[in-house]
Amino acid sequence: MRIGGIPGPAQFLRLLHINRVLVRHGLDEIVLATHLFRPVGFLRHLLPWNWVRREELHLSRGERIRLALEDLGPIFVKFGQMLSTRRDLMPDDIALELAKLQDRVPPFPGEQARTIIEKAYGQPLDIMFAEFSTEPLASASIAQVHVARLLNGREVVVKVLRPAIEKVIRRDVELLYIVASLAQRYWKEGRRLRPLEVVGEYEKTIFDELDLVREAANASQLRHNFQDSPILYVPEVFWSETRRNVLVMERIYGIPVGDIAELRRRGVNMQKLSERGVVVFFTQVFRDSFFHADMHPGNIFVNADDPDDPRYIAVDFGIIGTLSPTDQHYLAENFLAFFHRDYRRVAELHIESGWVPAETRVDEFESAIRTVSEPIFDRPLKDISFGGFLLTLFQTARRFNMEVQPQLVLLQKTLLNIEGLGRQLDPELDLWKTAKPFLENWMRDRVGPRAVFNRIKYYIPRWADQTPDLPNLIYGVLKQAHTGDLTVRLQRQELEQLRGDLRRASRRNFHAAVGAALIVSAAVILGFDAQHGVDLWHAPLLSWLLGGIGVGLLLSAWPGEG
């Protein structure tokens, strides 16, 4: 991938088209800041459309950027959606506006989809399906979905990638790299927002979504994690019919979670539904460390067959987040410390986890966290945004050189989605009240007696498997010791001894320098007193005292001492 290179003829034309769209939406200051147009930047004031107040300029910068991305097409729309999740990098006004981007893309012809699927299978569609509807059920920037029926009668949906989509994405991603490089070099906000890093993250995410076998594996794992769960249902994957560009899954029926009016009409228990959304999220994050990271309303449905016992149904598993056990532990402890307003512990946890540099001063970090957190507690807990707290915490940590943690960014995005959705269903949702017992139980299971028992139970089979080999292992170690093959351990001990010698030598040098300084000071005081006869607090006594301390320090710095 060329980064910041000179665009070719086709790219140059595409770049001109992008610039035209930006200018049309009143974003010409970004265009004229690039090195391509910078020499003629003064012409901005001579351009006819700048002589009058354009309608677009009445809109906020976030609205203008959103409209420009919509005009540039599906790849840029998806890029805008990803940018909306980078609240650690994007100003709030832009991030909130980009979050409104909808993936509404015109479908491609159904017959073309049929041809792509037949090519993937290497045989006519009639051999694989009893029925196949060429009319798309839904269409997005990467793929579209068709309804079908298997030969055994099962109703399914068939997700098929858009034709030549990989080529289109590669072209536009390369252009994004060029634009990002120009922005980082010439736009005043460029260095702070790190556009090259953002495009790199987008490239990885979008190319992962092009592999539908990977998405199928994600769905299968999530289905296994919530097998027989009363709160979340994940459709079945049909592996024999799935290919890299074709995914076949069980067809589900449900009410879109964003259709609040229909949910209320059906008498759904909205309080239970909103609380279950929070439980689903925390279960995925802390029990499984495998969470659906694209849980916007378009990907979530509700089974309302029993209105008092509603159940979520999830679709679209292209983006999945995971956390290491270390991240899980520190995240849970962070939340609990915040619950108890223990800001020092929050600061310590960030340093212990390696999220901020080890040399960070705990007291300064604690003070910064307290400054942004205390005002939050002036409001009722139910009015405090959990996701907003996480965002504020990460933004504060960025001032202390916290590196971007991609897994935490995905988590933050998902939490904001879940929280917004939950409060849309039930404005009185107290996410803290729901989350706190969950986190306390999780921590108890991790560090209490039950955790020790579970770990022993987990490792017993492994220990039993390795026990017969112990005599041979012991013999091998003793033999290596006899033949001198344990030199590495001895060298490590020698290195530790060398480090100790260096520390002692450094201490001796310090003592010698201070001792010499004190002796010189004593001599200066005596000389000053003898020459000017000024009574400087018993100058002789003071000089002898300083000199004595100096001699003592010099002696302590002598080799063999200290």
Residue 289 has pLDDT above 60, yes or no: yes
The answer to whether residues 137 and 274 belong to one domain is no
- At 241 the pLDDT is 94
The answer to whether residues 338 and 215 belong to one domain is no
Percentage, residues of the chain above pLDDT 70: 66
Mean pLDDT of the region 274-302 = 88
The answer to whether residues 153 and 179 belong to one domain is no
The answer to whether residues 469 and 413 belong to one domain is no
Structure tokens at 156: 């399914």
The answer to whether residues 247 and 310 belong to one domain is no
In a domain, 315, yes or no: yes
The answer to whether residues 431 and 378 belong to one domain is yes
In a domain, 4, yes or no: no
- pLDDT tens digits for 330-351? 888 888 888 788 889 988 888 8
- At 407 the pLDDT is 67
Most confident of the ranges 34-48, 81-95, 134-148, 429-443: 134-148
Most confident of the ranges 95-109, 193-207, 277-291: 277-291
Q: How many domains does the chain have?
A: 5
Domain with residue 227: its CATH number is 3.30.200.20
In a domain, 202, yes or no: no
* Residue 561 confidence class, pLDDT cut points 50, 70, 90: very low
Mean pLDDT of the region 505-518 = 65
The answer to whether residues 89 and 155 belong to one domain is no
Q: For the whole prediction, is pTM greater than 0.85?
A: no
Structure tokens at 48: 């006819």
Mean pLDDT of the region 273-279 = 89
- At 266 the pLDDT is 94
The answer to whether residues 34 and 139 belong to one domain is no
The answer to whether residues 284 and 416 belong to one domain is yes
Select from 447, 472, 506 the last residue of a domain. Answer: 447
Higher pLDDT, 505 or 202: 202
In a domain, 317, yes or no: yes
Nearest partner of 312 among 439, 214, 422, judged by Cα: 422
In a domain, 273, yes or no: yes
Structure tokens at 252: 């589900």
Helices and strands (DSSP H and E) totals, the chain: 23, 11
Mean pLDDT of the region 115-129 = 94
3-state SS assignment for residue 73: coil
Residue 2 has pLDDT above 50, yes or no: no
* Residue 310 confidence class, pLDDT cut points 50, 70, 90: very high
Nearest partner of 303 among 295, 312, 294, judged by Cα: 312
Which of 294, 316, 327, 430 is an active site residue?
A: 294
CA distance 352 to 348: 6
Higher pLDDT, 74 or 246: 246
Most confident of the ranges 190-194, 201-205, 462-466, 487-491: 201-205
Q: Tokens 């507690």 sit at which residue? A: 377
The answer to whether residues 335 and 381 belong to one domain is yes
- At 406 the pLDDT is 66
- pLDDT tens digits for 404-444? 666 677 777 777 778 777 878 888 877 777 777 888 788 77
Domain that holds residue 323: 262-447
- At 305 the pLDDT is 93
The answer to whether residues 285 and 417 belong to one domain is yes
The answer to whether residues 312 and 432 belong to one domain is yes
- At 249 the pLDDT is 97
CB 343 within 8 A of CB 366: yes
In a domain, 203, yes or no: no
Most confident of the ranges 156-170, 429-443, 538-552: 156-170
* Residue 109 confidence class, pLDDT cut points 50, 70, 90: very high
What does each C-alpha distance from 204 to 161, 212, 218, 491 come to in angstroms? Answer: 17, 15, 16, 43
Mean pLDDT of the region 97-112 = 80
In a domain, 185, yes or no: yes
CA distance 119 to 244: 12
Q: Does the annotation mark 316 as catalytic?
A: no
In a domain, 257, yes or no: no
